[in-house]
A and B are shown apart, each in its own frame.
Chain A
Amino acid sequence: MSNEIWVFAEQQEGKVRRVAFELLSAAADFSKKTGSTVAGILLGSGLQEALKSLTSYADKIYLLDDPGLAAYTSDAYLIHMAPLIKEHQPSILLGGATSTGKDLFPRLAMHLQTGYAPDCTGLTIEENGKLIAKRPLYGGKVFAEMIYLEAKPQMATVRNNTFLVNQNLNKSAQVIPISSPIDPSSLKKKVIGLEKAAGAKLDITEAEIVVAAGRGIKAPENFKIMEELADVLNASVGTTRATVDEGWRDVKDQIGKSGKNISAKLYMAFGVSGAIHHILGIGTCKTVVAVDTDPNALIFNYADYGIVGDLFQIVPALTEELKKAMAEK
C-alpha cells in the first residue's frame, strides 16, 4: 500500500469543482500528520485549464485526458480508475458528495471491495493514517463516526462546504499522464445530452449562501424578489416541498428529506414553517435566519436569527440594505 491520499478532482466542462479544492486542502492538512503524498485524479477531455487550476493544490496529479471521457459515465470512469487504484493502492480516496460522486463512489467501492462512507460532513485522520468519517444518519437526527477495517482505499464522499479552500498550499504537482484508451463501444451507456438549467446560479448544494421561500411566498411569480435578494449575495434560491408540489419551483431546488441536503455558510428562510422534513436538509448549515409571520413557526427553533414579519416587506428591504452593506466592503 502506498501512503497516498487521492482526491477525485471532479470537473464539469473542464472546470474543477470547488469541492475538489476543499478536499485537496483537507488532504494537505492530513498529510502533515501522516506524511502522505496528496494526489489529484483528473479525468475528462480538454483538461488544460483544469490541470492548471489544480497544480498548486497537489503533489501529484494523475491525468487522463481523452476525448472518450468528455462526459462522465460511471462505466467509463470505473474502467479507468479501478486499475489505477489497484496499481497504486492509495490509502484514502475522497470525492465530493455531488451527483457524480454519489453515482461513482458506491459502485467503485463495491468493485474494489473496500469501505465507503457516503455524504460525510467531517473527516479526521489519525497519525497511523486511519480515517474517521463523520456522517449524518436518519437525515441528520444522529451522526455516526465511521472507521474503516483493513481494506484500502478508505473511501468517502464529502458534502460541499465541509472544508475551507486553502489557496496558499503552493505545491507544484508532478503530472502523471495515464493512457488507457478504451473502446467506446464496450461501454453500456452514454450521455446524449445536457439540458442546462436556466440562469447561471450554482446548485443549492454548492452555493455558500442559500435563500429560500416556502408557501408563504404565495405565488410562483413572487420568487422574483427572492432572485433579486440572491443576486446581491451571490446566493442560490432554494425552496420547500410545498412549492414544488404546487408546481411553482423545480424539484432540483427543494431542500429537505426528500430533496437536497445543503451545507451553506448562510441559509435564510422566508415563509417556511420549519417542518422536520425541511429542517433535516439544513442541519449542517452554519448560520440560519428565519422570517415568518407566525411567531410560533417551528423554523424559529432551528434558526440563529429570527424576525417575525411579512416577507413581502422584509425581503425587498433586506435586498436594499445588503446592497448598501456590500458596497461598503
Chain B
Amino acid sequence: MDIYVLVKQVPDPEANVKVKSDVELEIENKYFTNFFDEIAIEAGLKLREKFGGKVTVLTVDNKKVDALRRGIAMGADDAIQITDPALEGSDPFAIAKTLAAYLKDKPFDLILAGRQAMDDDAGIVGPGVAELLGIPHVNMIVGLEIDDPKKELKVVREVEGGKEILSCFLPALFTCQKGLNNPRIPQVMNVMKAMKAQMKKVDLAALGLSAVDVGGQAVKIKVQKYLPPPKRPPVKMIKEDFPENVKQLVKLLKEEAKVI
C-alpha cells in the first residue's frame, strides 16, 4: 500500500501561549509532533507491516521539520517538506490546497491525518484534502480494519452515543484520534538516524500553485482580534468539616451559582 501521512509540528500543550497584541500571539518555543498525527503515523506503519508498501510523511512548513523526523524515527520510509515563502500566513484551507496539489498525481491508496492540529484546533485540513482530491473521508476514526486493500474496508468513527461502522473502498482519507492505537516510541538508534535524514523539499511552483492560491491572500476568514481566555473568579474553598462541607456545596450550587 502507498500511504501518505499528513503531519505537523505544533506547540506542546504545556507551552505558554499568550496574546501579544490584537493580531499577534507569543508562543513559547516548546514544540512536539501533533499528538493525533502520531496516531496517524502509527496506523500507517501498521498497515505497511501487514501489506508491505511505503509510508511517506508530508508536512507544509517553512521551518519546522521535526514532525517529519518523528515520522522517520517511528519508521516512515520517506519524508517530504513543502516549503515556500508564499506559504506564510496560510490557513488550513490553503494548507489543504497545497497538500492536495502535491498528492493529486501520486499513486496513493490511503491518506491519513490527525483529527485536528493542536494549534489552530481546526479539523479542516483532512476533510479539505479529501474534497479537493474527490475521495471519501471519514473523520475522527477509532477503528480501521483492512483485510484486502482492493476490497471494501471497515472503519469506525465515534458518534454521540455510540460508534458508527462505515465501509468504503480505497483510495480514501481518514483523520485519526485517540482510541485508534498507541503510537510506538521510536528506538534511540532510529531517532539518531532521523536527525540526519534528508527531507525532500518541494516548492509551490513544482505544484503548479502561486502566491494567490495560498498565504494571506487566499483566506476567506481571518482573525480580527485575539483575546485572552475568560478569567475565572478565585476559587471559593469550602472549609467546613464533613458532612457540613457537602451541605454547603449544595447550597452554593443552588443559591449562588444557580446551576442545579
Do the beta carbons of A317 and B246 come within 8 Å of each other? yes
Task: Note all chain B residues with C-beta closer than 8 A to A12.
Answer: 159-161
Q: How far is the CB of B139 from chain A (nearest CB, A)?
A: 4
Q: How far is the CA of A251 from the CA of B143 in the complex (A)?
A: 12
A326 touches B260 (CB 8 A): yes
Inside 8 A of B205's CB, which chain A residues have their CB? none
CA A189 to CA B233, docked complex, whole Å: 49
Does A144 reach chain B (CB closer than 8 Å)?
Answer: yes
- Name the B residues within 8 Å of A117 (CB-CB): 221
| Inter-chain contacts of B227 with A (CB < 8 A) | 134, 142-145
**Are the C-beta atoms of A305 and B161 separated by less than 8 Å?**
no
How far, in Å, is B155 (CB) from chain A's closest CB? 8
Count of chain A to chain B residue pairs whose CB atoms are closer than 8 Å in the complex: 263
**Complex CA–CA separation, A188 to B137 (angstroms):** 9
| A137 close to B (CB within 8 Å) | yes
Task: Give the docked Cα–Cα distance between A194 and B169 (Å).
Answer: 19
Flag B130-158 by CB within 8 Å of A: 1 or 0 each: 11100111111010000000000010011
Per the bound structure, the CA–CA distance linking A150 and B223 in Å amounts to 14
Contact status A300-B159, CB under 8 Å: no
Within 8 A of A (CB), among B199-218: none
Quick check: B121 and A118 within 8 Å, CB to CB? yes
Measured CA separation A236–B13 after assembly (Å): 26
Q: Is the CB of B220 within 8 A of A149?
A: yes
Question: Of A106, A251, A286, which contacts B123 at CB under 8 A?
Answer: A106
Contacts of A233 in B (CB 8 A): 260
A107, B130: Cβ atoms closer than 8 Å:
yes
**What residue in chain A is nearest B35 (Cβ atoms)?**
A258
Q: Across the interface, which residues of A come within 8 angstroms of B172, CB to CB?
A: 188-189
Contact of B224 among A145, A244, A257, A301 (CB under 8 A): A145
Closest B residue to A254 by CB, please name it. B178
Size category of the A interface is: 35 or more
Question: Which residue of A102, A106, A252, A304 is within 8 Å of B232 (Cβ)?
Answer: A304
Residue of B nearest to A200 (CB): B161
A1 at the binding interface (Cβ < 8 Å): no
How far does the Cβ of A143 sit from chain B's closest Cβ, in whole Å?
4
Task: Indicate if the CB atoms of A203 and B18 lie closer than 8 Å.
Answer: no
Query: Within 8 Å of chain B (Cβ to Cβ): is A33?
Result: no
Contacting residues, chain A, for B229 (C-beta < 8 A): 136, 140-143, 283
Known interface pairs A276-B13, A325-B254. Does A196 touch B222 (Cβ–Cβ under 8 Å)?
Answer: no
**Is there contact, CB below 8 Å, between B259 and A194?**
no
Residues of B with C-beta under 8 A to A194: 159, 162-165
CB pair A309–B260 under 8 Å, yes or no, is no
Instruction: Find B226's partner among A99, A143, A197, A244 (CB 8 Å cutoff).
Output: A143
**Is B58 on the interface with A (CB-CB < 8 A)?**
no
Please measure, in the bound complex, the distance between the C-alpha atom of A82 and the C-alpha atom of B242, giving whole angstroms: 59
Would B167 and A192 count as touching, CB distance under 8 A?
yes
> Does A70 make an interface contact (CB < 8 A)?
no
Asked if A142 and B162 make an inter-chain contact with CB atoms under 8 angstroms apart, the answer reads no
Secondary structure of the B contact surface, majority rule: mixed
Whether B158 lies near A305 (C-beta < 8 A) is no
Q: Are A148 and B17 in contact (CB under 8 A)?
A: no
A308 interfacial contact with B, CB 8 Å: yes
Does the CB pair A118–B122 fall under 8 Å? yes
- Tell me whether B187 is interfacial, beta carbon within 8 Å: no
**Contact status B135-A147, CB under 8 Å:** no
Q: Is the CB of A190 within 8 A of B168?
A: yes
Per-residue 0/1 for A303-319: is the Cβ within 8 Å of any B Cβ (1 yes, 0 no)? 11111110001100110
Given A75-B136, A203-B161: A136 touches B121 (CB 8 Å cut-off): yes
Is A287 touching B259 in the complex (CB atoms < 8 A)?
yes
Tell me if B185 counts as interface (CB < 8 A to partner A): no
| Segment with Cβ contacts to B, from A35-43, A108-116, A168-176, A213-221 | A108-116
Known: A115-B220, A251-B179. A192 touches B166 (CB 8 A): yes
A23 CB within 8 Å of chain B: no
Cβ of A321 < 8 Å from any Cβ of B? yes
Tell me how far the C-beta of A95 lies from the nearest C-beta in chain B, rounded to whole angstroms: 13
Given the interface pairs A106-B123, A143-B229, A287-B259, the reply to whether A193 lies near B165 with Cβ below 8 Å is yes
Interface positions, chain B 232-246, Cβ under 8 Å from A, are 232-233, 235-238, 242-243, 245-246
Q: Does A98 belong to the interface (CB within 8 Å)?
A: yes
Chain A residues near B92 (CB, 8 Å)?
Answer: 106
On whether the beta carbons of B220 and A304 are closer than 8 Å, the reply is: no
A17 to B238, CA, bound (A): 37
From the candidates A75, A110, A306, name the one contacting B235 in the complex (CB within 8 A).
A306
Given A252-B179, A303-B232, A317-B243; 8 other pairs, CB 8 A cutoff: A119-B122, A138-B27, A142-B25, A194-B163, A203-B161, A244-B178, A265-B259, A287-B257
15 contacts between A and B (CB under 8 A): A106-B123, A109-B93, A110-B128, A115-B221, A116-B221, A119-B121, A136-B229, A138-B17, A141-B18, A145-B223, A154-B221, A203-B160, A307-B238, A321-B243, A321-B250
Which residues on A are within 8 Å of B, measured CB to CB?
A: 12, 17, 71, 73-75, 98-100, 102-103, 106-107, 109-111, 113-119, 132-151, 154, 188-197, 202-203, 205-206, 209, 233, 244, 251-252, 254, 257-259, 265-266, 276-277, 280, 283, 286-290, 300-309, 313-314, 317-318, 321-322, 325-326
Closest 6 CB pairs of A and B: A115-B221, A189-B168, A115-B220, A203-B160, A188-B136, A251-B179
